[in-house]
Amino acid sequence: MRDAPNERVQPITALEDLTRSLEKGEVDPSSVSVHDTLDETMREIKRVMGTPDLDYIGDFLKAASALIKAKAEKLLPPEEDTDSEVDDENEQEDDFLYDSESEWSNEALLAHLMEYRVFQDAVAELARRDTTWRGVFPRSRPVEITQEIPLTSTEIGLTHLLSALQDILKEAPREEFSHVPQDDLFLERGMDHIRACIREKEKVVFRELFFEPVTRSGVIAVFLALLELIRLREVIVRQDYHFGEIVIAFVPGG
């Protein structure tokens, strides 16, 4: 299974070949024609117009822009070092950036070009594994659930809370709206209600927050207030174990 053929990304025509040649030092960046590069870019964009593979187009544009950037950097005059008392570390860095003729060294140029490309083989391997292992069903399906991450307000996820809210809403009776409540008061009351619930027992189970407001609008008000308290980092929301109760408590030391 692990020996499946590598699903490499599509090759990106002559432009990427040229970029690769640059990386290998086979082509001098100063000899790259901006006109030809842009021409090739426009031709390739026209060719792939209508292609739904945005990644492909994105890769191509990245390669083209890297090439233009390389050319631009080659044309720029080197920065002058005005600081006469440079320490060893700076001297080392200058050696890296400039060669003996005070031009951009090939190394620095290559580094810029390869920033993005370094990981492409790794990306291809991960893509292959992603495809293969998507078809492997373990006895437990733990992928979406993590056991090693403590579930806190930032990590429990809004989807968990929304799911819990749906359950509460199912039980709350609908009411006729005669007026729209004023937002600030609406939210402030909800926040006070949550604070009071937590103070009573140091922590409160999510469901218990909704014992008092029995209407749907009341439930939503308290829920919005909870989100606001999370945003203000006043409370944390955690689930001590999977499928366990969602518990809300004040942020320790907060």
Stretch that binds another protein, among 37-45, 125-133, 195-203, 229-237 (CB under 8 A): 125-133
Under the criterion CB under 8 A, does residue 132 sit at the interface with another protein?
Answer: yes
Helix (H) or strand (E) holding 160: helix 158-171
Total number of residues binding another protein (CB under 8 A)?
Answer: 49
Token pair 């937002």: residue:
183
Largest interatomic CA distance in the chain: 81
Type of residue found at 218? G
Residues 6+ apart with CB under 8 A from 102: 78
Q: What single DSSP character describes residue 182?
A: P
Please identify which residue in 30, 131, 163, 215 interacts with another protein, judged by CB under 8 A.
Answer: 131
Specify the residue, 88 or 148, whose C-beta has the smaller distance to another protein. 148
Question: Contact letters (x/-) for another protein, 49-88, by CB under 8 A?
Answer: ------x--x---x--------------------------
**Nearest distance from residue 123's CB to another protein, in Å?**
5
CA 223/CA 177 separation, integer angstroms: 19
Under the criterion CB under 8 A, does residue 90 sit at the interface with another protein?
Answer: no
Question: Is the distance from CB of 237 to CB of 152 less than 8 angstroms?
Answer: yes
Stretch that binds another protein, among 76-84, 105-113, 194-202, 210-218 (CB under 8 A): 105-113
CA 202/CA 224 separation, integer angstroms: 21
CA 246/CA 135 separation, integer angstroms: 32
Question: Is the distance from CB of 13 to CB of 103 less than 8 angstroms?
Answer: no
Specify the residue, 70 or 198, whose C-beta has the smaller distance to another protein. 70
Under the criterion CB under 8 A, does residue 115 sit at the interface with another protein?
Answer: yes
Under the criterion CB under 8 A, does residue 134 sit at the interface with another protein?
Answer: yes
Type of residue found at 177? F
Environment class of residue 191 by beta-carbon count within 10 Å: exposed (0-12), middle (13-18) or buried (19+)? Answer: buried
Under the criterion CB under 8 A, does residue 162 sit at the interface with another protein?
Answer: no
Under the criterion CB under 8 A, does residue 114 sit at the interface with another protein?
Answer: yes
**Nearest distance from residue 201's CB to another protein, in Å?**
30
Specify the residue, 65 or 215, whose C-beta has the smaller distance to another protein. 65
- Residue ranges in contact with another protein by CB under 8 A: 1-2, 9, 23, 55, 58, 62, 93, 96-97, 107-108, 110-111, 114-116, 118-119, 121-123, 125-127, 129-149, 155, 157, 159
